[in-house]
């Protein structure tokens, strides 16, 4: 698993949800990987795939393949999020 460049108590999965919410609920995996690589030392595509898999299995996100190495990650508006996150999601889904 990737190490933080500096100490941070936010798990990668939470960071992904936060980034997606800031980007209106969707973004490409390449852009997501770039942002996470800036925050986590030695963050790899494998680390991203593992985190996305965990989130998709828990129904927090959808991952839609666009090309061989590029996918679009979308927030599942029916996911079991906190009230604060749901309020942010409602802003761009309605």
pLDDT in tens, 4-50: 455 566 789 999 999 999 999 999 999 999 999 998 888 899 999 99
CA end-to-end span of the chain: 36
pTM reported for the whole predicted model:
0.85
Q: Which strands sit side by side in the sheet containing 61-65, from one edge to the other?
A: 26-28, 71-75, 61-65
Domains identified in the chain and CATH numbers: 10-93 (1.10.10.10)
**Would you state the pLDDT for residue 40?**
86
How far is 94 from 12, CA to CA, in rounded Å? 27
Q: Are 73 and 29 in contact (CB under 8 A)?
A: yes
Q: Which two tokens stand for residue 23?
A: 């980007």
């Amino acid at each position: 698993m990737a190490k933080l460049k500096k100490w941070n108590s936010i798990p990668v999965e939470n960071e992904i949800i936060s980034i997606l919410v800031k980007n209106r609920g969707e973004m490409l995996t390449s852009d997501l990987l770039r942002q996470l690589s800036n925050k986590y030392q030695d963050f790899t595509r494998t680390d991203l795939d593992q985190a996305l898999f965990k989130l998709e299995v828990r129904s927090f996100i959808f991952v839609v393949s666009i090309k061989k190495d590029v996918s679009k990650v979308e927030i599942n508006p029916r996911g079991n999020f906190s009230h604060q996150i749901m309020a942010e999601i409602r802003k761009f889904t309605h």
